[in-house]
Amino acid sequence: MTVGEKIQFYRKKIGLSQEELGQKMLVSRQTVSLWETDKTLPTVDNLIRLKEIFSVSIDDMLTENEPKEEIQNEPKEAYIFKYEKSDLQEVFKKVRFPLIKRAIIFTLACIVLFIFFAATETNQTIIGLLLGCFLIGLISHIKGYFAYRKAWKNSVSRILQSTYSYEIFEGYFVLNVSQNEEITRTLKIYFDDIEKIQTFGSYLVLQISGQSYIIKKDVLIPESTFIAFCNSAQNKGEAKKPKDKLKNVSILLFILSICTIWGALIGVAILSGINQAMTENMWVFFLFLPIPIASIVFGFYLKKKDYKYKKNVIVGFIMAALLCIYGSFTFIFANVYSHNDEPIQNVEQLLDIDIPTHSRINTQDWTKGTQSIPRGYIYSTSDIYFDNIIVAEFEKNLSSDTKWISTIPNDMVGITSYFCDIQTSDYYIIYNKDTKEFNKLPNESGTYVFINILYNAENNIMKLVEYQIEYTK
């Protein structure tokens, strides 16, 4: 008998499919199939794991001798369970509570963050990103809840029609599932392979290979192995197996890689709230590159160990590519904005007005390239940012300065710039460079060059727009 034939023999003997054995081994079903057809051999680590799962020696698997038939001893305990619908409903109500609890805690945490950011007048971009994260998280929780509920509903009829008999031996138990007095499935399960055991009232729920198995506690004898194992699992911190640690690291890197985009966006938003230069802050995306790169490297490490690896490699490459693309915006658009004071000096001299000392100015030259702006031709725009204290005196004088107006008459809207937002701005100047007039319609039809100034008193932002527009009287 070949090694592959023995793996297949022992696998079927304990009632596992290739997919289920692969899950226990942290390898794909295709890898198990290659072993069983003798196209590849398991590594030493995998042979050790197979030995533990099959409860045989490595020599038994590697020699050509026929496998020895196991002498079945009398079970230490034996139980037969037939479930009613009320049993399943009670367990479902108790199992779903942690799902609802996590969703409530997540929602409350987001509300607290919203209140905190709103109270501190944080940049609205950050609040928008937080709202996006909240919606994604909420949808994920709702989706998870309904998926769990659907899985329970789909399994109810099958469980109600089945009888579950447990025979407990030293270190393992045999589960026979039968319908109409005919055994449909037999599983040999080692206690070490139980992923999680939870107590819900008068029930124990075992998690094994992604499946849940319900045991009625009131049927068990006081010294039952199930109860002893449950107490042991709950009361002592059992060291995780190395392969479980690899799986946890794989999942952690997968999740962190997906979250890098959100983390980078939040970083850019925070930095932009300080220096008002979002495009130039996109280099922050490069700071998150080590995470997807680590996911890729770890994925190839898992491949070398014959474990599942593709999701780490795929998400790593995708996220690394997106981070590089967004991060490169800093260099691609490096020359889009200038930050010198020339536009402010020109406007102050031309219009004879005083503009407070600014904390930041972003000027864009629109004459380079083709414009798709629907009204007029834009020469340049400048966004100027001020500190609250500095503009206090400036804002006091705006209402009495005849050059500034607080509303734009309807007949003058046609000569304002495309960027003139009457919803958010508080004061305006419309200056005709050709006629040297403030806030007046030209006396004759023609093409004129204007300077439009908008000031938002709430956010302390001023916008200078120089543009050309055709006016028809």
Question: Residue 431: its pLDDT value, please?
Answer: 95
Mean pLDDT calculated for residue range 117-143 = 72
| pLDDT of 177 | 85
User: How much is the pLDDT for 241?
Assistant: 46
Question: What average pLDDT does range 108-132 have in this prediction?
Answer: 69
Q: Look up residue 199 and give its two tokens.
A: 């107590």
| pLDDT tens-place string over residues 285-314 | 999 999 999 999 999 888 887 777 788 999
Predicted pLDDT at 116: 67
- Taking residues 416-440, report their average pLDDT: 91
> Of 333-337, 397-401, 438-442, which gets the smallest average pLDDT?
333-337
Calpha distance 453→382 (Å, rounded): 10
Average pLDDT, stretch 255-269?
87
Residue 256: predicted pLDDT: 92
41-100 tens-digit pLDDT = 888 888 888 887 777 777 778 887 776 655 556 888 899 989 888 888 888 887 778 788
The reported pLDDT for the residue numbered 438 is 95
Helices (H), 55-190: 58-62, 85-119, 124-161
- Burial label for 21, CB within 10 Å (0-12, 13-18, 19+), is buried
Residue 236 has pLDDT above 70, yes or no: no
Share of the chain above pLDDT 70, in %: 92
pLDDT band at 118 (very low <50, low <70, confident <90, very high): low
- Give, for 182, the enclosing helix (H) or strand (E): strand 182-190
Average pLDDT over residues 164-179: 86
Q: Are 399 and 437 a contacting pair, CB within 8 Å?
A: no
Distances (CA, A) of 429 to 218, 378, 385, 447: 83, 16, 17, 19
> For residues 448 and 471, is the Cβ–Cβ distance under 8 A?
yes
In terms of C-beta density within 10 A (0-12 exposed, 13-18 middle, 19 or more buried), how is residue 206 classed? buried
Pairing mode of beta strands 203-208, 163-169? unpaired
Locate 46 and state its tokens. Answer: 């995998």
% of the chain surpassing 90 pLDDT:
24
Region 138-159 average pLDDT: 82
In this prediction, residue 332 has a pLDDT band, given cuts at 50, 70 and 90, of: confident
Using only C-alpha atoms, the chain has a radius of gyration, in whole angstroms, of: 35
Quickly state the pLDDT bin for 237 (edges 50, 70, 90). very low
Cβ neighbours of residue 77 closer than 8 Å, sequence gap 6 or more: 166, 167, 168, 220, 221, 224, 225
Q: 334 pLDDT exceeds 80? A: no
Q: What are phi and psi of 460, to 5 degrees?
A: 55, 50
Q: Provide the H-helix boundaries in 276-309.
A: 284-287, 290-304
What angle do the packed helices 18-25 and 29-36 form, to 10 degrees?
110
User: What's the mean per-residue pLDDT of the chain?
Assistant: 84
Which of these, 390, 470, 387, 466, lies nearest to 433 by C-alpha position? 466
Indicate if the pLDDT at residue 126 is higher than 80: no
**pLDDT value, residue 239:** 41
Separation between Cα atoms, residue 41 and residue 7, nearest integer Å: 11
Write down the number of H helices and E strands in the chain: 15, 14
| Cα-based distances in Å from 360 to 104, 338, 399, 426, 433 | 42, 11, 24, 20, 26
User: Confidence band (pLDDT; 50, 70, 90) for 240?
Assistant: very low
Rounded Cα distance between 192 and 233, Å, is 10
Closest by CA to 429, choosing from 450, 458, 414, 400, is: 450
Q: 158 or 456: whose pLDDT is higher?
A: 456
pLDDT value for 242: 47
Record the pTM: 0.46
Rounded-to-integer distance, Cα 65 and Cα 368, Å = 82
- Burial environment of residue 223 by CB neighbours within 10 A (0 to 12, 13 to 18, 19 or more): exposed
CA-to-CA distance for 429 and 434, rounded, in angstroms? 15
Range in 38-42, 191-195, 254-258 with the lowest mean pLDDT: 191-195
Q: How far apart are CA 396 and CA 351, in angstroms?
A: 19
Q: What pLDDT shows up at residue 448?
A: 95
Q: Say which residue the tokens 């987001």 belong to.
A: 110
Between these two residues, 201 and 209, which has the higher pLDDT value? Answer: 201
Which segment of 24-38, 299-313, 405-419, 442-456 scores lowest on mean pLDDT?
299-313
Task: Compute φ and ψ for 400, nearest 5 degrees.
Answer: -95, -5
